[in-house]
Every structure is written in structure tokens, then in C-alpha cells.
């Protein structure tokens, strides 16, 4: 591993034995990721002649960037969030190119991901409750990694059930089981 990556990796590590200086280094790297992403997305919006306000934040150990505002932004989200997923990956690549570190940046456009998270949480809870009622496992439709994570978290909040992912991308899905 290169010295640059080793240094960045040391900065990002913030476990129970990590020092305050390491935590601050990780936080500053995440802030830099957000800044790079914001600049990249600002240039993209200018090229497309779309209006939008970019908000940068750090949550749960990752940079979070959201674009809100203009009417055209929903075009960036695309069908079922496919455009948003692609734009997030392009933004992560731009950040990686600038920082030399693989980014876990999360991007939201026009509040789509936040709304989707609420819908998926409800779907996960209701599916878990249905499994409890019927005592039969339920295989959900294929989902993106983001969608599966939200559903797994929602299912985990219901006692008596658990979930697993099965299949290969792009047909990977969540299966909810009753706990024995």
C-alpha cells in the first residue's frame, strides 16, 4: 500500500483505541471529500444549466452531499433512482481521483433518497410483520445495495424475524425469515 493510502487509512480509523487527532484527521478527510464532490457537482449543474443548492455534511462516518432546488433535478434521479446511483458513483470516482482514497460518499438529489429511505423502512417493517403473521418467508423484489441496507435495518428492528440477501447483482434481493 502506498504511503499516501496508508496515511489516509490511518486518519480514517477511529475505533475505541483511536486518538482524538486520528478522529479529527478522519473528519477533515470527509469534509474534503464533501468539498471535492460539491465542486464536481456544481460544475455538472452549470454544464447542464440546472439550478440547485448543494449542501455538504458528515454523518455516520461518511460525507453526505445533497442537491435541492430546481425543477430539473428529478431528471438526475432517473427511473427508480438509477440516474442518482450512477451520478453517485461518478462523484465518488471524482473524489477518489482528487484524494487518492476510495470514497463512501452518499448523494441525494431533490430529496429522493430520503423519501425512498422512509418508504423502504415501512416496507421492511410491514414485510417483517407479515412474516410473523403467516410464519412464511418472503422474498422481496431485487434492490440496489442502498435499498437492501435500509430494508435490513428495518427488519432488524422487529423481534422474531431476520433478513438475508440472496442472488447476484442486479437481481440481488432481501429475504425475510421468521427466527426459530
Query: What is the tens place of the pLDDT at every residue in 10-49?
Result: 333 333 333 333 345 677 899 999 999 999 999 999 999 9
In this predicted model, what pLDDT tens digit does every residue of 88-136 receive, in sequence order?
999 999 999 999 999 999 999 999 999 999 999 999 999 999 999 999 9
- CA-based nearest residue to 107, from 68, 49, 154: 68
In 76-144, at which residue ranges do the beta strands (DSSP E only) sit? 106-109, 138-142
Tell me how far CA of residue 57 lies from CA of 45, 60, 97, 105, in angstroms. Answer: 19, 10, 20, 10
Task: Say how many C-beta atoms besides its own lie within 10 A of residue 161's C-beta.
Answer: 22
pTM here is 0.75
52 versus 7: the higher-pLDDT residue is 52
Q: CA triplet 110, 112, 118: central angle to 5 degrees?
A: 140
Q: How remote is the C-alpha of 154 from its chain's centroid? A: 15
Amino acid at each position: 500500500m502506498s504511503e499516501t493510502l496508508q496515511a489516509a487509512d490511518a486518519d480514517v480509523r477511529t475505533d475505541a483505541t483511536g486518538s482524538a487527532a486520528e478522529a479529527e484527521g478522519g473528519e477533515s478527510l470527509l469534509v474534503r471529500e464533501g468539498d471535492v464532490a460539491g465542486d464536481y457537482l456544481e460544475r455538472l449543474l452549470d454544464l447542464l444549466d440546472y439550478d440547485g443548492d448543494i449542501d455538504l455534511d458528515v454523518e455516520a462516518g461518511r460525507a453526505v452531499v445533497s442537491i435541492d432546488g430546481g425543477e430539473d433535478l428529478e431528471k438526475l434521479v432517473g427511473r427508480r433512482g438509477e440516474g442518482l446511483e450512477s451520478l453517485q458513483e461518478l462523484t465518488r470516482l471524482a473524489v477518489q481521483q482528487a484524494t487518492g482514497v476510495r470514497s463512501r460518499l452518499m448523494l441525494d438529489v431533490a430529496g429522493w433518497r430520503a423519501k425512498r429511505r422512509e418508504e423502504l423502512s415501512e416496507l421492511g417493517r410491514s414485510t417483517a410483520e407479515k412474516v410473523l403473521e403467516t410464519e412464511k418467508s418472503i422474498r422481496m423484489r431485487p434492490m440496489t445495495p442502498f435499498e437492501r441496507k435500509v430494508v435490513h435495518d428495518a427488519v432488524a428492528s422487529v423481534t422474531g424475524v431476520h433478513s438475508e440477501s440472496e442472488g447476484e447483482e442486479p437481481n440481488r434481493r432481501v429475504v425475510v425469515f421468521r427466527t426459530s
